[in-house]
Amino acid sequence: MDVEIGSAIASEVASAAHAHGKLVVGSYHDFARTPDAATLATVVARGTALGADVVKLATTPQDVRDVRLLASVLISHAEDANLVVIGMGERAVATRLLFPALGSLLTYAFRDEPTGPGQLSLDELAPLVRRLFGG
């Protein structure tokens, strides 16, 4: 079950999902920008406190500094939370390929139509993943 961390029903949804033996992904999206490290750390803490099995951060980097910031948040919280960190938009394409190597649990690709800004198609991403990570 995927629920937005800031949602008024997040706690209720997480409890219900766990009661039915389902995993909970606590998500945070910022389609306009990438917040600072302290804000993102607070989001990770809120997601963990919510009981999310995985915390997903998806933000929109404005430049390479924001991509580095996302990488830093991922690396610094990898030991205390199960994280998915993804940058959205054209400036963040590398996050979709490289962040799994830094500890992000998954990435997204599309088959027919993208569902988020900056997504690569499965046909583009799969060969790159195989080349970089094997398999």
Q: What is the 3-state secondary structure (H, E, C) of the chain?
A: CEEECCCCCHHHHHHHHHHCCCCCEEEEEECCCCCCHHHHHHHHHHHHHHCCCEEEEEECCCCHHHHHHHHHHHHHHCCCCCEEEEECCHHHHHHHHHHHHHCCCCCCEECCCCCCCCCEEHHHHHHHHHHHHCC
Q: What is the 3-state secondary structure (H, E, C) of 97-123?
A: HHHHHHCCCCCCEECCCCCCCCCEEHH
CA separation for the pair 47, 59 (Å, rounded): 16
Residues designated catalytic: 29, 56
Look at residue 80 in the predicted model and tell me its pLDDT: 82
Domain boundaries, the chain: 26-40+56-133
Tell me the longest C-alpha to C-alpha distance in the chain. Answer: 42
- List per-residue pLDDT tens for the chain, 135 residues long: 999 999 999 999 999 999 999 999 999 999 999 999 999 999 999 999 999 999 999 999 999 999 999 999 999 998 888 999 999 998 999 999 899 989 999 998 999 998 888 889 999 999 998 888 876
Look at residue 135 in the predicted model and tell me its pLDDT: 65
Contact 92, 68 (CB under 8 A): no
Contact 95, 86 (CB under 8 A): yes
Architecture label for domain 26-40+56-133: Alpha-Beta Barrel (3.20)
